[in-house]
Amino acid sequence: MPTWLWILTILIVLLLAVALANVLQTQHTILHNYPVFGYGRYWIERLGPMLRQYLVADDNEELPFSRNERTWVYATSKGQDNMIGFGSEELQYTIGYPIIKNAAEPFPEHDATWPGDDPTAVPAIKIMGAARGRKRPYRVPSVVNISGMSFGALGRSAVSALNQGARMAGCYQSTGEGGVSPYHEHGADLIWQLGAGYFGARDAEGKFSMDRVVATCARLPQIRAIEVKLSQGAKPGKGGMLPGAKVVPEIAAARGVPEFQNCYSPNSHSQFKGSDGLIDFVELIAARTGLPVGIKSAVGETAYWQQLAERMRTRGEGPDFITIDGGEGGTGAAPLTYADHVALPFKIGFQRVYRTFQDAGVSHDVFWIGSGKLGFPDRAVVALAMGCDAVNMAREAMLSIGCIQSRACHTGHCPTGITTMSPWRQAGLHIPSKALRCAAFVRGLRKELIALAHTAGYEHPSQFTLDDIEVSAGTNLFIPLRESLGYQSDDCGFTSMKELTPVQRD
């Protein structure tokens, strides 16, 4: 019998076996009724999101990031031309659409200065921890930084590329709540995030260990601040479980948990309750480490923030910085309802908390950080005008190192090797080249922020106020963002770019 006939016979037998097995099974109606061709439905369902975003969706249609937005990130990170031709594709009369008002006389570019050798350097104006007299205050070297993404949620290659990119761009990287791993130790400044699981800060019995925190900070001087995470935008008020199969030795070591056992992250902290308990916890960590200590939270109820602001005013103590995460944020797995319907969007959440602290007279004492789809020039300008001293970005940083928005973050099968622990998939993520792209994106974003500031008549982007931005409020009606949000941010206190020098480490 010819070889081709043998091959054809084997294929027919295999197809008949698959068809018989599907006809006999009772779990899947489609496969029972269409025992071979039914698989096409599942293949199309799996490939559908990727096919739509490249072949079907409009340039501004796909979510959470449109093709135009992704293209801008990719071009900026590769150092390519990120301009557009033939005008805007946006519907500028859409309710809420922001317009940055250009000054009649822009700030002269030839008068621009910058600290150091990087013309895109934009340090924060306010010094983190200075208001509380911390022993190791921190001049955040960049108003654009990398948000918390844990080792475990991201693979070693992605964490390494982001850290190296952050070092080259002169910005900080938040560790996420998964602890400080060896892949965070490539030289970038770090904000160590402590979630309710206290990963990386646990004793042998799994309880919070202040001694472990002190030892880690002493060993790693690049840890410049500690962030106590109350909640995050993707799934506020909900804990999580990392299955034991994923708790490989590297992850177990970083988190301080047993290998190959389920790793539970609680939804609330065990070390404090209430605003006074939080302030006590913050002050304890700050006293023992000398570092600025802050909190991160998505925003829902406002009574808690009112009480916290009042207790901070009365006691003269409390968080050195507050990171407000919008409900539109999120890089990993989250239940659909939490992602879509729990926690306020960034602008509303930040407005409510910031105004509360203004009313209490303590907003000047806090370094404010915004998070939640803020890694684009217009959104970062809005956040800075609202009172943020810096912004964090997560998914935009992932896009800069090759994320294609396949939305497979929670499956372990990320095709670009970013949100997976698969050695094969991670091997395709070339760390040196992706680090360069991350750095180029951070610098490119800062460059556009500087250009927008100059356009509005300012030298530093933190000089933007809510009067410099108008939003569409109806047919042929634009109003200042100050009127829309109902407040004006504190004066940023800018004097000169040359004065924004780093605070030396002890």
Residue at 363 is within a domain: yes
| Integer Cα distance of 434 and 418 in angstroms | 11
Burial class (CB in 10 A: 0-12, 13-18, 19+), 140: buried
pLDDT computed for residue 445 by the predictor: 97
pLDDT computed for residue 407 by the predictor: 79
Burial class (CB in 10 A: 0-12, 13-18, 19+), 380: buried
What is the domain extent for residue 392?
A: 98-499
Contacts of residue 289, Cβ cutoff 8 Å, sequence gap at least 6 = 136, 213, 214, 217, 226
The answer to whether 472 and 97 are in contact (CB under 8 A) is yes
pLDDT computed for residue 164 by the predictor: 98
pLDDT computed for residue 234 by the predictor: 66
Question: How is 455-503 classified by DSSP, letter by letter?
Answer: HTT-SSGGG--GGGEEEEEETTEEEEHHHHHT--PPP-----GGG-PPP
Residue at 324 is within a domain: yes
Residue type, 94: T
Burial class (CB in 10 A: 0-12, 13-18, 19+), 87: exposed
CATH code for position 156: 3.20.20.70
pLDDT computed for residue 103 by the predictor: 95
Tokens standing for 464? 């933007």
227, HSE (Cβ side, Cα atoms, 13 Å): 32
Residue at 78 is within a domain: no
pLDDT computed for residue 48 by the predictor: 65
Burial class (CB in 10 A: 0-12, 13-18, 19+), 273: exposed
- In the chain, which stretches have pLDDT less than 70? 1, 29-30, 41-42, 44-61, 233-237, 245, 329-333, 504-506
Residue at 326 is within a domain: yes
At 439, which helix (H) or strand (E)? helix 431-455
CA proximity to 97, closest of 344, 346, 378:
378
Residue at 460 is within a domain: yes
Q: State how many domains the chain has.
A: 1
pLDDT computed for residue 60 by the predictor: 66
Residue at 283 is within a domain: yes
Residue at 255 is within a domain: yes
